[in-house]
Structures are given as C-alpha cells and as structure tokens.
Structure 1
Amino acid sequence: MAKKISSEPEANITLLPRLSIRKFLSNQPVKGMVDWLPGEFKIRKYIFDTWRQVCLSYGMEEYLTPVLENAEIYRAKSGEDVGQKELMVFVDQGGRELALRPEMTPSVTRLVSKIYEASPKPIKYFSIANFVRNERPQRGRNREFWQLNCDIFGSVSLSSDIEVLTLALDLMLAFNPPKDSFVLSLNHRGLLDDLLSLLKINHEKKLAVARILDKYPKLKEADFAKCLVDLDLDSKQIKTIIKFMTAISLADLKQRLPELTESQGLKELEEIMTALRKLGYQKLIEFKPSVIRGFDYYDGVIFEVFDKHPENNRALFGGGRYNGLAELFGSRSFPAVGFAPGDETTRLFLESWGLLKKIDLADSNKYYLPLLNFGLEFETIELTKKLRAEGWNIEMGLEVTKIGKALEYANKKGISQVIILGEDELAQKIYKVKDMSSGREKQNKL
C-alpha cells in the first residue's frame, strides 16, 4: 500500500511503489548445447539417414536404451574421464544415483545381457541416440552430442571384426568423400599386452603405461620418454617402446621387435588387414601403434578413423573388441565388437572436404499452396486436404498474398514446388504446379 506523507496539514503527497526492473531469461541454449534450426536439422538428418541406410544394408537391427542409467555402470568401465569427471549425476527421490548416459557401450551391454541366452547369435544391433558429458566445449565436442553405435554380440570369429571394420569404412564411403580423405588405423590390445609383458611391466602399472602410449602423437619424443621415466621405466624399456611406437607397418614391427612375431594379437591383426586388402580397402587402412583407445574395456582389435584434411586432422571415431564387459551385470562373459561415430565430428569431416555443399537441402518433396484471394479460403483448404490425403507434403499459406510474393517466399524457404489456385484456375476447374527450378508449370484437374 502506498504511504501518504504530509508536509502541511492540507497537502498530502502519494509516493508510488518503485517499479521493479524485469529480468529477462536468456534465449541462448545451455553452454555446450546447440539448437538445430531447420537448415541445420536437415544436415544432421542427412547424416543420420545415411548411417541408418548403411546399417540396415548390413542386416543390423535398431534399438534404444533409456537416457538415464545407474551411475555405477559407467563408473565401472568407462574410463577415468567419462566414468568420473564427465559424468552428469543426480540422486533421485529414492536415493539412487543416476547418470545421463555419456556413451552407449555399457548401456547396450546391460541390455544384451538380459536377452543374450535366449537370442539367436550373432546379435547385430545399432542405435542413433544423444548423449551428455560434463566436459569443456570445443571444436568437434559439445556437452550434448549424437552417436551411431554399431555392435556385434556373440561371435568370437575374426569375421565379426572384419564385418565391423568394413561397416565403418562403408559408412565413411557412403558420404562420397574424395580419395585419400580418411584412413582407418588399426592396432590390437593383445599386441600391446604382449609388448608390456615383454618389458616385464606388472599388471598394476600396465594401465598407466597404456595411458602414456595413448598420448604419444601429441608429445615430443623427449617429453614422451620423460613420462615413461616418471613411471620408473628404465632406458632399455623406453627404447623398446619407442621402437614399437615408430613402426610404420606390421612387417616393419616384426623386423624391429622379432620377439613379438608370435604374438596372437599381431597374427590376428595380420589376418584382418589381409582380408580388408582383398576386399578392396587396401588404400584406406594402416597399422598404427599409437592407436591405444583410452577406455579400459577393449581387449582385442582396436581402431580409429582419422580425417586427413590439414584443417581438421583428427580422430573421427573409433572402436574395437570388448569381450569382458558383460561380467559387470552378473552375466557370463560374451564376445562383443563395435564402434561409435559422432554427429559433430562427421559434420566437420563433411564441411572440411566441401561435401556439405553437395547435399540437396531443398524441400524437393514439399509444396507451397498460397492463399491468393479472400474468397478462395475454403477452396484452398479443400485442395490442401485432398492433396495431403494423396501423400503430398504441403505448406498452406495462412494470409492472403500476391503470386509474386508467394513465389519469393517459396524461393527463400527452398521449397521447390508451388501450387497455384487463383480465380482463373478455379473457373477452369484446375490448379497449376510450378517448378521453382525450371519455371515450368503443369496443370492438374481439381
């Protein structure tokens, strides 16, 4: 209530309450999250549709898991970063610690562990889903992102490794990239384990050494050696590791370190790469000892796909074999191999090589039917209803407009076909369909 103050008996002044300054909410998304307007959504849909088409051509089945999981399934096997620092966690009303899924592999393994025994093998699954990580946003990395996850469960055969690798290559080739634009780099956890056993590095120290090896491409050789010294490795061990890391092929590796010739991991890698060469992928694959994979659950073949563009020279995605993960869920161990490309890195690959310009973003299956006269409202709605029932995708004008403005609107929105229904057309009991690219018009009966 406003106060009345009197300076003289006769004079009363009313003081109005202060106007509060209104605080507006930000119209920007949360940091690390991205809005997709229709133009951007078409690009992402093109990526997702391409992924789905290739996966279905391999006879894979699509699935989806909940966006929320028990936090412990990620903490157990997702590695220090994803399972600890980057996990977005909250406690529900029942006191359970839940997490927004940061990756799919533990989730799909949980899912498959429920149905594994009763399902025919192999199980070939794929999903396209969104994920959240509490990490610093940077080029190619957002807090929310989408991934394609492809996995084969229930096969120990090298044929399943080879199929997963050909799938990864065919997914890249489906975008019609130029020659020599990417490479699939291979390694094997068994080979790495044999190297560390050769060096007599104990089990407790193996993971720490593997993490240093994973950083090899980003470090100068002196800094790399210092990191190994800090782990109490001697000069002979470090020299052997550098010999391994600088090998340019499996043949070169066997010459440098003949002690690894009988490694089962090396033999499997040779067999896999020989098969890929015979299948015509010889120019797209390489042995790369620095491919380590940061996660703790890979135990067989491991690989990464690299973009070779000088302005986007980076790993696009990776994967490998992870046979032991099911034990987390009280299930007996079952074999699994898979990989997961992301939408953002795929988009950057397409952008770097000029492939986005080649995507047809026009609404070729969409028609615009403007309202050209106040007296034609019913007829315009009726024609729209009829054509939609026939399977046409039609945006109907909601305000009366002239034909020139209608064509300009359709052109700005990338709508390739305009339906014209004016008084003249109605009198002739026809409507016209104008192709915005060629300018040609076709007449149809009402």
Structure 2
Amino acid sequence: MLKRTASHYSRYEAELGEFRLLSSRAGALTAIVLVMAGVGLDYGIYPGHQLQFFVARLLVSVLIGLIFLLLVNQAGRRFVLPLTLAWLLLPQIMIAWMIAITDGASSIYYAGLNLVIFAVGIAMPMGLWQTVGFGAVTYLLYVIACLAHPEGLAQHDHFIVNSLFIVFSIAASAVYTFMNERGHFHLIRLKEEVARKNEELADINRRLADIKGQMLQQEKMAAIGTLAAGLLHEVNNPVNFCLMAIEVALEEPQAKENPSLEECLVDAKQGMQRIQHIVSDLKTFAYRKPGAEVEGTPFLFEKALDSSIRLTAHELRGVKVTRDLPDDTLVLGDEAAVIGVLINLFSNAALAMRKAGTQAPAIHTTIRWVESRLHVRVQDNGPGIASENLARVFEPFFTTRDVGQGLGLGLSISYAVIERHGGQLFAESEFGKWAAFSFDLPRAE
C-alpha cells in the first residue's frame, strides 16, 4: 500500500512539475500584458503619476520578461517554483509602492493585490503552503506600503476593511489550491488505475491467445489421431501381407542362390518395416487419452527421441543428427506430447539452417541426469536467433517464418507441455553461430 502511494505521489510530482512550467510561462506573458494595460488605470485615477508609473510598469515588465526567458531555457527548468514566485512578487512590490506614494490605506490599487492572490490560487499550480506564504508576503507588503504613506494608518477604517479583503482572498485561494491539489492527485491515481486495468486486460488477452493456440493444436492433434487410426487400419493389412510375401520369397531357393535378388527383397522388407514404424509413431504422437494425468505414464526418452527423428526424417535430410545420452532414460510424462516438442525443435532447427544456407548443418542432442530430472539440450549450428526475438520465441502466434509457413504456435505449446511436466523450456543463442533449446523431465520412480 505504501509502495503504491509513493508511486502515486511520484507520478503526481512529475506531472505537476511539467504543468507548473507551462503555467508559469503562460502566466508570465499574461502578467506583462496586464501590467502594461494598467497604464489606462494610471491615466484615469492618478494622471499626475502617469509617467512615473509607466516607467515602473515598464521596468517590472522587462524583469518578468527576463524571468520568462529563464523559464524557456533548459537550465531554468530546475528552478521553476522560485522563478515563478519571483515574477509573481514583482507586480505586488510595484503595487505596494504605488499605494505608498498615492493614497495609502485608501488607495484603490489594493484591489490589484487581491487580483494576483486569486490568480495564484486559481490559475497557478502552487502548493497550499506556498499560496498561503505568498498571501502573507503580499499582506506584509500592503502593511509596509500603508506605514510608508505620510498619513500612516490614520485611515484605519480603510486599512481594516482592505486587510480583511486581502485575508479573505488568501483564505479563498488556499481553499482553491487545496481542492486543485486533491483533484489533480486523484486524477493521476485514476489514470494509474486505468493503466493497471489495461495491463490486466492485456495479460488476459495474452492468456486467451495462448489458450486459443493450445485448443487449435489439440484440434489438429485429434485430426491427426483420427487419420493415424485410419492409416493403421488401412495400411497395416497390406503391409503385413507384403511382409509375409517377402518372407516367403526370401525362403525360396532362387532368392538364396541369387544374392542380388535376396538383397532387393531385404531392402523391400526394411521399407515395409519403416512404413510400420512411421504409422505407429504417428499414432503415438497424436493419440492423447482424455482426462489422463500428464505425469501418469513412464516411457523411455530414447524411444521418443527415435520416433521424433523418424517423423522428421524428410526435414532432416542432409542434416547430421547426433546424440549423447545415458543408458537409463526412463522418465514420467506424456510421451506423445514430448515427441511433439522434439518434432517442433528438430523441424525449426532444420528449417532455419536450410533457409540460412548453413554449411554442414548439424543438430546435437545432449541428455544428462541432474538429480531426479532428465535434462535435454537440442543445439544446432544454424544462424541463431536475433536478440530482439529471443525473448519472444515462446509467445503465441509469434513467428519469423514467411506467411503461410506456420502459425507461430509450436514453441508456445511446447513451453506449456514442458511446464505441465514440472520443467521449463528455455532458449539460448549466439546470433550467427548457434541456437539451443533446453528442457527437463521427471524421472520415473
């Protein structure tokens, strides 16, 4: 609470400082115009002092103009408040002098003192105590002006009435200043509250975008699962028939006597077996048990790694794929989802290296046990990730691919998958040299 209040006050002071500067500049120019316009009052009320008062008004206007130039200068911005008080006091000193050499306590010019006090309270963004202090100095100048007059305070009735009016002006200006301060502060607080609500809405929108991406991916996974089931049903029977036929052919004497024919049959058998692996991997990758706990099934990470490499073989063509892993890779989690993460990492790396024309493209997977978690690092020798994009790679719908080549959901979904396994997926890169993605999975007890 105290921290938020301090933030409100710091924002309030910052905006108030800028407002004071602009108001002081505008007020100074207005003061010059009003001071010089008072020549008409001098002509109508005290024509005998007209030349004398004109010189005084001109001098005060020049001094206010010099202060205005300081306020425009960058160095003067640091002293806005004292400079503002200085040019505000100049007309008060001039009016007090005019009162002293004219009619003293009964001089009509005391109204000018009230006018400036009201201007400070209403138009100028002064603080409460500054307004009260300015009013007190103004009243002191009025008292000195009355005492300096030859008759002194002999006209005590005029002095008392004018003093009361000045005090009323000070009180009214103080109330105006207090209410202006509170209103401006509450306005700043309201703006901060609106900004905070906007940030919350932006966060909600980001979460909704993330959820939207995950739902889209789940729909894609369901579609792939349906396709995989159909493929298994439609493909397995002819594949098994072909395998049986090949096995029979291999047992024939002609095949045993002809090495070239036997080699062709073996190649055909391996091709059929590869089809079985691909369809089986596709089913494992796509199939998700509804309502099943993510951490509910043990599986060998090495097997998931093999599956992901087979499923991306067409994209990894020409890429050297190596690995460094321990003997035991039994982890707990969702094998299908982890295969999806690996497929996404391999596909992204292969595409980036192919697009950049990387010489001798390679992907190396390092796997290590650290306490009870299996740490996986997939690193390529491609172009790397630009620093401005590194912090955004996990944002939903963020992609550097060409239009139509991806929705930018893969890494954000992969991040969520690893997060559900109690781990973290993070990216590292040295732009122009390499990029690496690391994550960790729990050990199967």
What TM-score results when the alignment is normalised by the length of structure 2?
0.23
More helix by share: 2
What TM-score results when the alignment is normalised by the length of structure 1?
0.23
Q: Identify which of structures 1 and 2 has the higher relative contact order when contacts are C-alpha pairs closer than 8 Å and 6+ apart.
A: 1
More strand by share: 1
